[in-house]
Amino acid sequence: MTKRAFCTECNKALTACICDAICALDNQHFLHILQDPSEQNKAIGTARILGLSLSKVKLTIADIFDAAQFDLSNTFLVFPSEQSESVDSLKQTAQINSDSQFILLDGSWKKAYKLLMTNPFLQSLPKLTINVKEQSRYRIRKSPREDGLSTVEAGYYLLSELENDYDKFLPLLNVFKQMIDFQIASMPAEVYQQHYLNKTTQDDL
């Protein structure tokens, strides 16, 4: 059987390539995405959208990460917990500045939590929550959490809050929508209706 051809940039099948839809965005704050290895080649993965779009971004794929690559004195982990603070509160107390860096964990909720537990330095970082204005648009992936977001949606809300500009980063969501629409159009209608329609479908952090 002939193997499908893949795009070397977005890592998706050529028929599902999103590169033409990518818009270059100059984000003020550095974003570091830590990706579970099982997410690397998923057709519906969204971390690559951030990696291709943003000017200040790094995508690292591993189970264990090197703490030395982070400025732990000025890095925040986007992760919901009882100790998490909002972006607004951190901005008001001047804990966030132009050199601040932010980490997103890319994977299912279970895998993201595993990354947190197997990398102790992540547990020591100050954690923040993002202000989500609407339910996730991740219509073809399930999540045990009602507030779950795809990684690209989390990046969109985080950067929009940090820069107080929700329009600037809308191209991220436009590419995301194009990717999801293509995947839904490519599957039999009965499959989508049975497994995804009217169900919670977001699985990334």
CA angle, residues 137, 179, 45, in degrees to nearest 5? 80
DSSP letter (8 states) at residue 93: T
* One-letter identity of residue 164: N
Please tell me the distance from the alpha carbon of residue 81 to that of residue 75, in angstroms, as a whole number. 17
DSSP string, 117-164: HH-HHHHHS-EEE----S----TT---S-TT---HHHHHHHHHHHHHT
The pLDDT value recorded for residue 125 is: 95
pLDDT tens figures, 13-42: 898 899 999 999 999 999 999 999 999 888
pLDDT value at position 202? 39
Query: CA-to-CA distance for 151 and 25, rounded, in angstroms?
Result: 17
pLDDT digits (tens, 9 = 90+) for 33-85: 999 999 988 878 899 999 999 999 999 999 999 999 888 899 999 998 888 99
pLDDT above 50 (res 195): no
Nearest to 156 by CA among 98, 201, 102: 102
**Two tokens at 25?**
């965005």
Over residues 128-177, the pLDDT tens digits come to: 999 887 766 554 555 445 556 889 999 999 999 999 999 999 999 999 99
Number of continuous H segments (helices) and E segments (strands) in the chain: 7, 6
**Are the beta carbons of 172 and 104 closer than 8 angstroms?**
no
State the Rg of the chain over Cα.
17
**Residue 3 DSSP code:** P
The predicted model scores a pTM of: 0.86
Residue 19: strand, helix, or coil: helix
